[in-house]
Amino acid sequence: MSLLISDEIINLTNYTEKEFKLEIAILFYQKKRFSLGQAAKFSGIVKFQFQKELADRKIPLNYDSNELKQDIQTLKTLFAS
Per-residue pLDDT of the chain (81 residues; tens, 9 = 90+): 998 999 999 999 999 999 999 999 999 999 999 999 999 999 999 999 999 999 999 999 998 888 889 889 999 999 986
CB distance 42 to 67 below 8 Å = no
pTM value? Answer: 0.79
CB distance 24 to 41 below 8 Å = no
CA distances from 70 to 38, 44, 74 (A): 20, 27, 6
Dihedral (CA of 44, 50, 52, 56) sign: positive
Whole-number pLDDT of residue 42: 97
Whole-number pLDDT of residue 66: 86
CA 6 to chain centre: 23
